[in-house]
Amino acid sequence: MSLADKTAAELVALQAAGGASAAEVADAFLAAVRDREPKLRAFVSVDEAEVKRQAATVDAKRRAGQPLGRLAGVPVAVKDVLCTRGVRTTCSSKILDNFVPPYDAHVVERLKAEDAVILGKTNMDEFAMGSSTENSALQTTRNPWDTDRIPGGSSGGSAACVAGRQAPVSLGTDTGGSIRQPAALCGVVGVKPTYGRVSRYGLVAFASSLDQIGPFARDVTDAALLLEAVAGHDRRDSTSVDRPVPVYTRTVNDPVAGLRIGVPKEFFGEGLDPEVETAVRAALKEYEKRGATLVDVSLPHSPYALAAYYIVAPAEASSNLARFDGMHYGHRTKQKADLIGTYSKSRGEGFGKEVQRRIMIGTYVLSSGYKDAYYVKALKVRRLVKKDYDEAFERCDVVMGPTTPTAAFRIGEKSDDPLAMYLSDVYTVSCNLAGIPGMSIPCGFTAGGLPIGLQLLAPPFEEEKMFRIARMYESVTDWHTRRPGV
């Protein structure tokens, strides 16, 4: 087995036992990136010399007998919406084409403190607005299982590089499903933590009350390991919650006794592909075989979650993206104009169509005369969505259902129909509105060989139990071990 086929946990153990050096691990993954990148286009930047320098530093610390972090020598890919000191951070947008941050995001600081090797920055939908990574101003990332299909979005590059064995683990962000949806479509594990569990410091904001940073991995153990490394309180983020982070990897293999799984009827209605439903229901039956009880629950306001999300998120985006005006940093138009003209032309040239669309929607719903009719009403719906989950969790440990309504669609298939694209997130947005943790794990394949994801949703800050429940299924199936031809 190649080093590039090993999990992060295996790489940590192998290096600790002297079976491989961090330099050898880095070389293996750099070779995988060079080999597969022409097909996948998952990365927007990889500095091979810097990767080798980081690996050499880890090896030097090991030889000197110095303490090493829990991710020592493990290559980690990072979504290009997270600031990296001295490394260009574009958000896959022309408006930030030349932006080089002077500081690291909190999660990048944590990776470095744990002796991880930052492998590179991954492609995404521009400013994390999209469900297919086709909205990137830089390139279109492709699904490793079928390179004519999308990898999901907005964290498509982070999902594709893990599925394509270019990186053992990666970080993405999830505002309405942007970790879980691409994880499902690429056949990997993706985790959206509880809002406040991971600091957003250094994350270029899309919708500040919804954004969360989380891991992609090939299995549940690696996802638990990466979240364990980056989670925790950070005083620089006012929404970061000050509570201890469990050692998820210590308990991940412990089964959950008396497990009750909530199955919401609203997740199995119109629009769900029959192959996806069959795979998800088979996964639920597997849990029953292991002693779990399936409980019928209802999330009556979930049909309104998508509409509420596409008011709240664009409203916050309209505010957050106002800073990109062509004056302070980023793209500035070369056309001569007055102040307002410079703003308009710079933003018109720098932002793509989807970002412009969401800014316009957000500005409209916050405008005088419409705020109460749209934005305030959406916030009320958001509260009702949260209440639905609170009531469901009184009857069950976790809610389960499909992550996405279909498997990966073809590149260009929905580009001209924004509403059809938005429906890709129909099962994921309510998790962000409620602020609860969620994850997607592989649970099967379509007849055409495309991955299908099972979504788990848990009460706030119960990631530890969520990992254990996910691992129960993973331990008796082999979906997560299958590899794409690429």
Q: What is the pLDDT of residues 427-461, one digit of tens each?
A: 999 999 999 999 999 999 999 999 999 999 999 99
Which pLDDT belongs to residue 470? Answer: 98
Q: What is the mean pLDDT of residues 22-51?
A: 98
Which pLDDT belongs to residue 417? Answer: 87
Query: How wide is the angle at C-alpha 337 spanned by C-alphas 332 and 343, nearest 5°?
Result: 45
Instruction: For 13-22, write each residue's pLDDT tens digit.
Output: 999 999 999 9
Q: What is the mean pLDDT of residues 53-68?
A: 98
Q: Is residue 321 part of a domain?
A: no
Rounded to a whole number of angstroms, the distance between the first and last alpha carbons of the chain is: 16
Determine whether 132 is an active site residue: no
Provide the β-strand partners of residue 279.
none
Instruction: Give the burial class of 235: count Cβ atoms within 10 A of its Cβ; 0-12 exposed, 13-18 middle, 19 or more buried.
Output: exposed
Contact 186, 165 (CB under 8 A): no
Task: State which H helix or E strand residue 398 sits in.
Answer: strand 398-402
Determine whether 39 is an active site residue: no
**Active-site residue, selected from the candidate residues 79, 112, 345, 465:** 79
Confidence bin at 481 (pLDDT 50/70/90): very high
Q: Is residue 383 part of a domain?
A: no
- Per-residue pLDDT at 1 exceeds 80: no
Confidence bin at 107 (pLDDT 50/70/90): very high
Instruction: For 220-247, write each residue's pLDDT tens digit.
Output: 999 999 999 999 999 999 999 999 999 9
Determine whether 154 is an active site residue: yes
Which pLDDT belongs to residue 485? Answer: 86
Contact 456, 392 (CB under 8 A): no
**Active-site residue, selected from the candidate residues 93, 132, 178, 240:** 178
Q: Is the dihedral of CA 76, 59, 110, 468 positive or negative?
A: positive
Q: Is residue 352 part of a domain?
A: no
Structural domain containing residue 249: 3-261+396-481
Provide the β-strand partners of residue 143.
146
Domain CATH for 184? 3.90.1300.10
Closest by alpha carbon to 214, among 51, 79, 45? 79
Our count of domains for the chain comes to 1
Q: Is residue 316 part of a domain?
A: no
Which pLDDT belongs to residue 415? Answer: 86
Which pLDDT belongs to residue 22? Answer: 98
Q: Which amino acid is located at 101 in the chain? A: P
pTM: 0.97
Contact 359, 321 (CB under 8 A): yes
Q: Is residue 388 part of a domain?
A: no
Which pLDDT belongs to residue 330? Answer: 85
Contact 174, 215 (CB under 8 A): no
Count Cα neighbours of 364 within 13 Å in the Cβ-side half-sphere: 10
Contact 158, 43 (CB under 8 A): no
Q: Is the dihedral of CA 114, 116, 120, 121 positive or negative?
A: negative
Residue scoring higher pLDDT (416 or 406): 406
Q: What is the mean pLDDT of residues 319-345?
A: 90
d(CA 435, CA 455): 15
Q: Is residue 174 part of a domain?
A: yes
Confidence bin at 419 (pLDDT 50/70/90): confident
Q: Is residue 147 part of a domain?
A: yes
What is the dihedral angle through the alpha carbons of 283, 286, 292, 294, rounded to the nearest 10 degrees? 50
Write down the mean pLDDT value for the chain.
97
What is the dihedral angle through the alpha carbons of 78, 84, 89, 92, rounded to the nearest 10 degrees? 10
Q: Is residue 323 part of a domain?
A: no
**Active-site residue, selected from the candidate residues 92, 154, 302, 424:** 154
Phi and psi at 454, nearest 5°, equal -105, 130
d(CA 210, CA 230): 18
